[in-house]
Chain A
Amino acid sequence: MRALCWKETLQIFRDPSSILIAFFMPMLMLFIFGYGINLDSSRLRIGLWSEDGGIEAVDFSAALARSKWLEVHIFGSRADMEQALVNSQIRGFVVLQQDFSRKLSQRGETAPVQMVADGSEPNIAQFVKSTVNGVWQTWQMHRGVDRGKEMKQEIELEPRYWFNSSAESRNFIIPGSITVIMTVIGALLTSLVVAREWERGTMEALLASPVTRTELLLCKILPYYGLGMISLMLCVAAAHWLLGVPFRGTLTGLWVVGTFFLLSVLGIGLAISTGMRNQFNAAQAALNAAFLPAVMLSGFIYEISSMPPFLRGVTRIIPARYFVSSMQTIFQAGTIWKLLWPDILMLMGTTVVFLGLTAKLTRRRME
């Protein structure tokens, strides 16, 4: 049995494609997630159209231009500005009408600031709205102070972030993205490689040998588990030291959670390859059954609680969901067992389910 496991391990390290999946792909993906997926808008490009030459309008325009969150563009005509919005060159614009300054200084009149945002990018539209709103509020407050009558807001909300005090989206996206990477390694790699063995008939040869099914399964799993663990540690190290994501947890916590997650995805990969037995179909199935759910339904970008009840039910059988939430806890809050154990229990459950499924499918194949 030891000889068999050793042979399996050697086989992995000799195959260039498994090394590609296990080491090159994680780094590439980590890099993409680290730099490419940024939900915090850096500088929003907006247009400004002012029909009013009055001092108030000029002052407010200057306040917009001063904001470090906005890049204000002035256009030759209003039609040009609207065309720029259609062409996605700007994400919104502000219009001050002729009588803005006059209405502002008149008691009992309300001077409107018109704002249009690009609704085809909902997330950016929200940011445009809240940023312009913020500039406008501060400007009004300063204006009140200048005139000697303080404009005080009655109630003020003071936001305070826990766990990720700088509120950078990459700090939660990168730990979550490690889940996607581990899914690719676990499910895609095993499904491809083992499907090839079924295709070539080497699997039948092994099954005919005196090794028991459990031993065989174990020998298939252990090397990939080792490879996955190395890859996980590599990802965490790169996330922390290269991408600068704070890591507050411990290696023990990482190891416990990582073990049960890896065993679950390896189970999925083995089950797919045993069921499909053909590389082309196994690859497609792994893409649809493991990779896409890990991106869409794990909660790493898209909040699970915002999904309709039916989909929320579906996410419960996806191991990635539990790994995302525990990775975010380990990275940002630390190894707090009280928060981790529910996820670990569920991961143990999915491990049993998927490895059990593989055993069952293998038995059916032999009969």
Chain B
Amino acid sequence: MSFFSRIHSLVIKEFQSLFSTKSGRMLLVMPVLIQTALFPFAATLEVKNASLAVYNEDHGRASVEMMQRFAASGAFTKIIPVWSAGEVEEAIGTRNALLAVHIPADFSRKIASSETSPVQVVLDGRRSNSSQIAFGYLQSVLEVYLKDRASAAGQTLPSEIITRNWFVPNLEYTHFILPSLVAIITTIGSLIVTALSVAREREQGTFEQLLVTPLTPEMIMIGKAVPAIVVGFFQATLILIAAVLVYDIPFRGHLVLLYGAMFFYSLALVGVGLFISSVSKTQQQAFLGAFVFMVPAILLSGYTAPVENMPVWLQHLTWFNPVRHFVEIVKGVFLKDASVGRVFSLVVPLLVIGLTNLSLAALMFRRKTS
């Protein structure tokens, strides 16, 4: 038998063990579909439907107008009028309101006497990120209101800031989430497939049988790698189709570039998976190993929080994290039409990670056979 026909039959065998049971087939497709349907709606740092408590002690026109602007802004769907400082405390404490605005009794008088009129805004610090974002909304509504007041009074501002957002003009979170999901869901899929495949065979005793065949450890590794890469490509394609057709996100870059980089990413993952496989004796150990690798890799990929917010030493460590580079590649190609040079500079670390892990795994397997 030639090299290729041996590998061919091995790959067929691997596919059979993946797809033979109904639960196996379900586990490859269902989580992808559910996650693609739910996560883009759940994983958002935008603030919507927030409640604003208003304690207005002033009844002048300016305060009423300002409140109307806040209410009309769309970020706050519920305005809770309160009548005392105690009620403000209650509304924030019980999480009924994210923010509370307190307009003092001398608000209108101060504006009339052209003094700066302060308005206190209470933010729920237990949810400091959301309340900060919501406070930003209030601030921009107020800016527009002040500008309108100035132009009504016949004044022009000496200067103004004109802001535009490139790539995602309205800062929609789905545009950020879906490309990242391509990277994250394929990680879970191909890593678990490779990490558990060897361990499962070892538990069932079929791995020893494989080792006594004329197949070399390298050939066995290729046999394990091909199905995992196919699974990864399949899951990634599912999400890409959903992103473009269902979520209506424009794909700006080149598909060839994306799939080319995806191949090297899958290779890096297969390397990690086979390495975990080569050092674990049982499925449980392999699963735990995969989990211990996956959780930090996903959380530190820049998906939940930007890499540049991390301490510098941790930013350097993320160089060894394949997920981080691939999240950057998918987002770059998908949203920003990243250049070949840029993608290449991100593929280099993937190649290093892949080759290192694959050779370590080969070494471990060789040691076991000899």
Contact = CB atoms under 8 A, between A and B. Distances in A.
Contacts of A169: 128-129
Interface string B153-172: 00011111111111111111
Given A296-B38, A336-B93, A305 B50 contact: yes
A307 interface: yes
Interface string B4-46: 0000000000000000000100010001001100110111111
B160 A112 contact: yes
Contacts of A85: 166
B171 A122 contact: yes
Interface stretch (A5-13, A21-29, A351-359): A21-29
A37 B314 CA distance: 11
A339 B94 contact: yes
Contact of B168 (A83, A120, A168): A120
B142 A20 contact: no
B42 A161 contact: no
Interface stretch (B113-121, B208-216, B264-272): B113-121
Contacts of A83: 339
A121 B176 contact: yes
Nearest to A281: B23
Contact of B121 (A28, A116, A158, A172): A158
B310 interface: yes
Nearest to B173: A122
B309 interface: yes
Contacts of A288: 31, 34
Interface in A314-367: 325, 328-329, 332-333, 336, 339
A154 B305 contact: no
Contact of A86 (B50, B176, B192, B337): B337
Contacts of A115: 161-164
Given A117-B166, A156-B117, A39 B129 contact: yes
Given A37-B304, A40-B309, A172-B126, A110 B159 contact: yes
Interface stretch (B255-263, B295-303, B352-360): B295-303
Interface residues of A, number: 98
Contacts of B288: 17, 20-21
Interface in A230-270: none
Contacts of A165: 125
Given A86-B342, A112-B159, A154-B146, A307 B299 contact: no
Given A86-B339, A329-B126, A123 B306 contact: yes
A138 interface: no
Contacts of B196: 280
A41 B171 contact: no
Contact of A155 (B27, B49, B117, B300): B117
A75 interface: no
Given A116-B164, A130-B139, A32 B296 contact: yes
Contacts of B164: 114-117
B169 A303 contact: no
A25 B291 CA distance: 10
Contacts of A117: 163-166
Contacts of A39: 45, 129, 305, 309
A126 interface: yes
A117 to B, nearest CB: 5
Interface in B90-121: 92-95, 98, 111, 114-121
B133 interface: yes
A42 to B, nearest CB: 6
Contacts of A129: 163
A328 B126 contact: yes
Contacts of A88: 328, 332
B61 interface: no
A87 to B, nearest CB: 5
Given A132-B161, A302-B42, A328-B126, A152 B116 contact: yes
Most buried by B among A41, A136, A164: A164
B125 A86 contact: no
Contacts of A103: 159
B149 interface: yes
B220 interface: no
Contacts of A167: 123, 125, 128, 132
Nearest to A331: B126
Nearest to A85: B166
Nearest to A285: B27
B237 interface: no
Interface of B: 23, 27, 31, 34-35, 38-39, 41-51, 62, 66, 92-95, 98, 111, 114-133, 135-136, 138-139, 142, 145-146, 149, 156-173, 175-176, 188, 192, 196, 200, 283-285, 287-288, 291-292, 295-296, 299-300, 304-306, 308-311, 314, 328, 331-332, 335-339, 342
25 contacts: A29-B296, A32-B299, A33-B299, A41-B309, A107-B156, A110-B157, A111-B160, A112-B162, A119-B166, A120-B336, A122-B171, A122-B172, A126-B133, A140-B158, A154-B116, A155-B116, A157-B138, A160-B121, A161-B124, A164-B126, A167-B123, A172-B127, A192-B284, A287-B291, A292-B35
Interface of A: 17, 20-21, 25, 28-29, 32-33, 35-42, 45, 83, 85-88, 91, 103-104, 107-126, 129-130, 132-133, 136, 140, 152-165, 167-169, 171-172, 188, 192, 196, 279-281, 283-284, 287-288, 292, 296-297, 301-303, 305-308, 311, 325, 328-329, 332-333, 336, 339
The 8 A-B residue pairs whose C-beta atoms are closest, nearest first, are: A164-B125, A119-B168, A119-B165, A161-B125, A38-B309, A122-B171, A163-B125, A306-B48
